[in-house]
Structure 1
Amino acid sequence: ITALGRLSGNVVGFVANNSAVASGQIDIAAAYKNARFIRFCNLYNIPIIFMEDTTGFLPGKEQEQGGIVQAGRAMLDAIIDLRTPRFLLIIRNAFGGAYASFNNYPTGADFVIALPTTRAAVMGPAGINFVYKDEIKAIQQSKQGRVAQQAEQLEASGMSKADALIESERLIELWVKEQEAFLSQRYENELLNPKEALSLGSISQIVMPADLRQVLGENMAFHLRHYKPEPMYGPQREFH
């Protein structure tokens, strides 16, 4: 979504992910649309507020064959070339390559803030399989031994050997799901928490929704006071 609006009396461009469509993933058309709008704002000295809620670039054979890498590069070039004040507001999800390129501090953002609902990481919930791979491996390796131990206990309590084996397998599967759910919640709390991004310097502030307009308005006014609008000189990067 791209639009022009006003914030504290100043004309501002807004670039936002539409999370109602494909979880806000950026496809070829969206990347080029963003690039064109960002260039427009750059030409006419219009500051931009990026509003992020995306799980990354849209994957798939069709996107790769259509040139999603080229489109993503065009969007990233437009962001890097921006000379106007530019902010990033993370609303909810910020995952993958889109998180790494959607106007953050490494690409030149002036101010990055997040709502308390933010979940920011290089990988989404699937990252649990890499972060806690040793724990998951240990759980899977202990299954067989736990099944045998549980079966012995059930058999000792009077259950037949066949029934004890079936019941023990069911109980251990429930235990495995509980352990995986625990690791998933731990991943959410420790790594997807916006406080983790704040401690790493990826964001500057966690803002409550009620204070959002004031925080954005005050910081935009500050940056505009130190920005000198002038004509755009020299060639811009080409993209198709």
Structure 2
Amino acid sequence: MTVEDYDTILDKGFTPVAMDIVNNRLRDKDIMKKFLAFLDYAPKAAQEWVDHGIVPFCPLVIPLPFDEFTGARTMAKFYKDIFKMPDKVEAALKIRLAEDLEMLRNTIPVVKPVTVFVGGTRSASEFISPKIFERFVWPYLKEMVETIVEMGSYADLHFDANWERDLEYFRALPKGKCIFASDSATNIYKLKEKLGDHMCLKGDVPASLLTLGTPDEVYKHCTKLISEIGPTGYILSQSCSIPPNAKPENISALMAAAQGK
């Protein structure tokens, strides 16, 4: 994404810019073909899980507009844009938000997801000041969550990085309608202290433990979380994603702890 693309977004929306980037500016010229193949297979994959008695938790995924722009523009350049032309950046973010909200209103009634995966990382408070957070992140996050709840789903806040400084903001989100998924950077015990009576908590079995630890270490860590963070209002899970090199016996230990075996 270039500086000139902001004017295109203000004129035509973010989607045309995103499609131009994907189709014409990436090194991998077949990326769209691969992505469409993934989308074609996704409903079949979801149904296979359902056939095995497992309901897909987050079949619908959406990033925060701030994070999407940092990905398209690069993190360093986008942060500079915020200071060089804040009004234009804000206007572009609002346009992208409108597109996102329209997608949610059109898609949630069709997909009927249990939760909608809301992704945030580079918008975390460890990277930006409270002033930037309040103007360029929080209003968009809040409106996306409120729209998801309005349409009948829960918001799964898959928020990597450290959000501890801004946890009080999250009490303004609809009570009992959100899940805060920590990746270990945000301390799950601080989440329990600040938000445990307001939303569900999810996590926090580190990737390092699943990869390098023993089944006994994993099991003890998981049962400790269930006891101290749960047992209610809590979902035991890995931090962010299960790493591809995690030991199968460690995943079995996590599942055994969740099942109380």
Q: TM-score range by the shorter chain?
A: 0.3 to 0.5
Larger RCO, structures 1/2 (Cα 8 Å, 6+ apart): 1
Which has the greater radius of gyration? 1
Under a length normalisation based on structure 1, what TM-score does the superposition of the two structures give?
A: 0.35
More helix by share: 2
Under a length normalisation based on structure 2, what TM-score does the superposition of the two structures give?
A: 0.33
